Every structure is written in structure tokens, then in C-alpha cells.
Amino acid sequence: MKVEVRAWLAIFNFWLKLIFLLRTLTSLLFVDNYHPTWKRALSLKVKTYGLSMKCLIQADYEMAKQLLKQRILVVERHCDLGATSNNILTNPALIPFKPANYFFAHLTKNQRRAFTLARMNALPSAIQEGKFHKIPYSHRKCLCRTDRIQTLVHVFLHCPLYDGIREKLIAPYLKQFPGWPEAFYTGLLLSEQNIYTEECPTSSILSNVAKFCAAAIIIHAQVSAIAQALTN
């Protein structure tokens, strides 16, 4: 359910509680000549779901609450279905039903989860984008105090917090491709089809990157806890 719909549902429930707790004042709502903005907005929103305020008031509290919630769910579900119809692929063969190859690799649960988070740019060090893009710049800085923003590129290639595990797990592989841009190295590490080299077989590359991601999550949590303790 959308956040907006949840908010309206909470408003409706509060309004119903107010009405049924103050039964003696209910009749005054319909004889009062003054119609505040909140009352007009509430009335218009109820009408979009095919109901009316008077209809809800005539029912008891539980019935009105159930009827309103059921109607909202039905209407919103149909709106969602109507909005997604233009985005549905017509050829089912184009839809990738097969899981990514790394799901079948010999990784532990934590390593597979960490590798997935890295591929989705959802590690604890990731920049919060989208609707969180107004987060202050100072809150995006890395805990290593290099004045750099926490990005996947910074974690994989530059952050001194991960120097030890970087040199051990992923640096030997990256050194075989000198002179490439940073985005190439990040994509190379997170690809499920790693470039094969004699020094680093594909299975070991994937395993090492997953181990690096899992260790990076642990290190980030430890450093964050220390920083929080120092500020307190």
C-alpha cells in the first residue's frame, strides 16, 4: 500500500473515532454553515471512493471503518493495475526468470547477501539517493575522514578502512587491468560474468569479492559504533 494511501487511511480512522466518540456533536457537522478546508478535503476524498460522510456516519464505527478500508484497497488496486498496463512486456520470453549465476556459487549466506547488496548499491556505505537526495553533504562523508563521499567506488578502490582486505582479496585481480576508469573496475568486480585469468579463476574472483563485501559491512559497523561512542 502506498504511503499516501496509508496516510489517508489514518486520517479517515481518526475522523471516524472523533465522530463516534462525540455522537452528540455529529448532527452539528451538517447544520454548520462554516466548512473548513480539512472538512472539504475529507469530503472530496471520501467521494473519490464512491462513499459519503453521511453514509459512513449512519453506520456504526466498526462497519464504517471496514467499509472504508475495503473500498480504498479495491480502488487503489485497480488504479495500480491500470498504471502498470503500459509497462508490461508483451513477449514473456524477454522476462528473465532465471536467477543470477552467483546465487549458485559456493558462498555463505552472509557473503551472498553482501554481494547482492553491493550489486544493488545498498551497502551501509551507499549514498542515499532518490527521495533522500536532500541529505546534507556532511552526512554522506566516509567514516575514514578523507572528506570523500561514501560510494561503491570509494569502498572498493580508495577507502583506507578496507586497505587490508582490499590488498588480500581484490587488488591482485584488478592489477591485471591497469589504466582503466574507476567505473570499469567496480562493474568488473560486481559482474556475475567475471573476466577469466589464469591467476584468478572466475570462482575465486566471485568468492573474493563476496568476502570483501561481507567484511566491509562488518568493518563499517564496527567503525560506526566507535564513532557513535566517541560523539556520546
Q: Express each pLDDT in 38-93 by its tens digit.
A: 878 888 888 888 778 777 777 778 888 888 888 888 887 777 766 554 544 545 55
What amino acid occupies position 12? F
Residue 195: pLDDT band with limits 50, 70, 90? very low
* Averaged pLDDT, 197-205: 55
If you average pLDDT over every residue of the chain, what do you get? 77
| pTM of the shown model | 0.54
State the pLDDT at residue 67: 83
Distance of CA 87 to the CA centre of its chain: 21
Confidence class for position 229, pLDDT limits 50, 70, 90: confident
**What tens digit of pLDDT does each residue of 127-146 get?**
655 555 666 766 777 888 88
198, pLDDT greater than 80: no
**Is 85 exposed, middle or buried, given 0-12, 13-18 or 19+ CB atoms closer than 10 A?**
exposed
pLDDT in tens, 21-39: 766 566 666 666 777 788 7
Domains in the chain: boundaries: 3-87, 105-231
* Number of residues assigned to the chain: 232
Nearest to 143 by CA among 127, 167, 159: 159
For the stretch 141-169, pLDDT in tens is 788 888 888 888 889 999 999 999 999 99
| DSSP string across the chain | --HHHHHHHHHHHHHHHHHHHTGGGTTHHHH-S---HHHHHHHHHHHHTT--HHHHHHS-HHHHHHHHHHHHHHHHHHHHHHHHGGG--S-GGGS--SPPGGGGSS--HHHHHHHHHHHTT-STTS---GGGTTS-GGGGB-TTSSS-B--HHIIIII-GGGHHHHHHHTHHHHTTSTT--HHHHHHHHH-SSPPP-SSS-HHHHHHHHHHHHHHHHHHHHHHHHHHHHHH-
In the numeric block, the cell 588480500 is attached to 168
